[in-house]
Chain A
């Protein structure tokens, strides 16, 4: 729903929407949680990093990531609806940047 953050989400304090850099940092930290440190040591996570080609994220790990993002950002960021619009090939081809853009757009 458009408009400024309202009081209906009482848990989330009203704040300026996060910047792309802040969301990227958050996504990085959640990815470390999901995948584990040892693999990520040799992999830089940037906006053009692909979940499939670069990170070799398994489907169950992608689920874990979306669930963590849901916990972090709440229902304002509706991943399930977003992904429902894509077929499996499109989901697999996603980059970190596309995910960050989606989050930033949803929160602004």
Chain B
């Protein structure tokens, strides 16, 4: 585990399979929003992929053990952090970006706006930016945080709720009230069919059969040239936790099919 200085913050990152030089580009895993961090990959698909190529796991700005400054939460900022991280870790680009949920939004944004950075995007339950996306994402968590001020709630959280609940509540409250994350996400540019149609790298789309955002999977499959959509039976939006082995196999197979790029 490394504390990496990049883009004026300290980023928590782990490099696995260090020094492996095979035909595959490095794979960088990008986790989801607020309660998520690199552990979602550390305990699931990352170790197996790291036997094939160099792998980078990191905590996004504001998440996990990475710094939580007040600003810098736009999708562009996320890519600046990522580029800084890769440069400091001496990871050659382009890389394959695997993104889960909002991590997938970041991967999509990279494929659209910084194609030179991206050799492929593996999207797990990815959210493209659609109309009202920021509101939709933030509404539940803002309501949750507003509820902390109801009578007795704060006393419970800091008392008998225990250490983990206290920390989780603290993270949610800080993200909502002390950072520009809500405003930054609400200001994100909608990824319409024209923008998505610009994507030229290979794209794998993995979604759960019972996902609440299955319509986005169909939108992406129709708009991204050559995208491969796979629906996993019996799984929901939490497919990475529900079927890590199947996700790992799908990623492995897809990585093996990528065109070999000369470094």
Question: Within the complex, which residue of B1, B65, B162 is in contact with A56, where a contact is CB–CB below 8 Å?
Answer: B162
Contact, CB under 8 Å: A80 / B39: no
Query: A84 — nearest CB in chain B belongs to which residue?
Result: B47
Contact, CB under 8 Å: B43 / A83: yes
Number of CB contacts from chain A to chain B under 8 A: 37
Given the known inter-chain contacts A64-B65, A67-B1, please indicate yes or no for A59 contacting B37, CB distance below 8 A. yes
Query: B164 — nearest CB in chain A belongs to which residue?
Result: A56
- Chain A residues with Cβ under 8 A from B81's Cβ? none
Contact, CB under 8 Å: A63 / B164: no
Measured in the bound complex, the distance between the Cα atoms of B42 and A81 in whole Å is 11
Residue A91 interfacial (CB < 8 Å):
yes
Measured in the bound complex, the distance between the Cα atoms of B42 and A10 in whole Å is 28
Contact, CB under 8 Å: A60 / B65: yes
Contact, CB under 8 Å: A60 / B14: no
Those of B29-86 within 8 Å (CB) of chain A: 37-40, 42-43, 47-48, 59, 64-65
Question: Within the complex, which residue of A58, A64, A84 is in contact with B1, where a contact is CB–CB below 8 Å?
Answer: A64
- Chain A residues with Cβ under 8 A from B64's Cβ? 60
Closest chain-A Cβ to B140's Cβ sits at a distance in Å of: 21
Residue B90 interfacial (CB < 8 Å):
no
CB<8 Å pairs between A and B, sample of 12: A39-B163, A58-B164, A58-B167, A59-B39, A59-B43, A60-B37, A60-B59, A60-B65, A63-B1, A64-B1, A67-B14, A83-B43
Q: Which residues of A approach B to under 8 Å, CB–CB? A: 39, 56, 58-60, 62-64, 67-68, 80-81, 83-84, 88, 91
